Amino acid sequence: MSLSDTLPLQSPPARRLPHLGAALLLGLGLFAAFAPILATVDPARQDYGAILAAPSAAHPFGTDHLGRDMLARLGSALRLSLGLALLSVVTAAIPGTLLGILAAWRGGWTDRGLSTLADMVLALPGLLLVLLVSAVVPGSFLAIYGSISLVLWIEYFRITRASARAILASPAVEASRLLGFRPAYIVWRHLWPELAPVLLTVGAFGAATAIMAVAALGFVSVGLRPPTAELGLMMTELLPYYAEAPFVLVQPILAVFLLVLALNLVAGYRPR
């Protein structure tokens, strides 16, 4: 009997949680994609004759304090949050992973220089850095996206560097080097299979962090500007009307909760 046979395995309900998260994330993505078909009105179109209207055939999710259709606005806000999260994660993952592999591969001054750069960025709290950039360039999508990516790449760099150093010192990699295989082959054959599950987990957590950061910026009114449909901004706009229309306020809150929950469940995936 091997040692792995004696270790406790995940229970079936625990193994199903990542699949539940993936299904939930897929459902939210489909809703965001098909919302323009379900609600044909412009998310910014105001109707002062239907302010804070209850759900109806014309407005399945009701309307906000300016008579704007909540179905259209919620779909637009989800597309923005998911798109920004995906863009930020991809933009952070590529340089972070490549620099982490470079630092582990070369070592020496290259490793120390890149590690020092990462520590300098890490010295400033991530959300504070995003707030500072957003305050300098208020309402800019590019500024928010760039600052979030600047924060996220550090995790990819540090995890890749630590993991790659151990993998590159393994006998399998040493054998590949002695046989004359190129670095690209070593990265693809030895590094990537070991790094991919960890990086995908970091990516799921990073996407959740990006969504929370954008919502937090919108909630404190330093993020995107009206009439942009953004989940945090929608919460701020609807908060004064929670007594008259709580069903409207709960929608962006529930959307953020489900997005972050789905991504955290997906991050718990462990390939067998």
Percent of all residues in the chain with a pLDDT value above 70, rounded to a whole number: 93
pLDDT digits over 77-104, tens only? Answer: 999 999 999 999 999 999 999 999 999 9
* pLDDT at res. 272: 53
Torsion of CA 107, 108, 110, 113, to 10 degrees: 120
* pLDDT at res. 156: 94
> Is 6's pLDDT higher than 50?
no
| Confidence band for 3, pLDDT divided at 50, 70 and 90 | very low
Q: CB-based burial of residue 51 (10 Å sphere; 0-12 exposed, 13-18 middle, 19+ buried)? A: middle
Higher local confidence (pLDDT), 17 or 184:
184
> Is 7's pLDDT higher than 60?
no
pLDDT digits over 188-209, tens only? Answer: 888 888 899 899 999 999 999 8
Q: Report the sign of the C-alpha dihedral through residues 56, 58, 62, 64, in that order.
A: negative
What kind of architecture, by CATH, is found in domain 14-35+66-267?
A: Orthogonal Bundle (1.10)
Q: What is the mean pLDDT of residues 67-83?
A: 93
Which residue is it, tokens 């972070």?
Answer: 96
Q: Where are the domains of the chain?
A: 14-35+66-267
* pLDDT at res. 4: 42
pLDDT digits over 159-185, tens only? Answer: 999 999 989 888 888 888 888 888 888
Q: How far apart are CA 174 and CA 218, in angstroms?
A: 51
Please, which residues bridge with residue 63 across strands?
69
Q: How far apart are CA 200 and CA 86, in angstroms?
A: 12
* pLDDT at res. 1: 38
| Confidence band for 125, pLDDT divided at 50, 70 and 90 | confident
Q: What is the mean pLDDT of residues 129-137?
A: 78
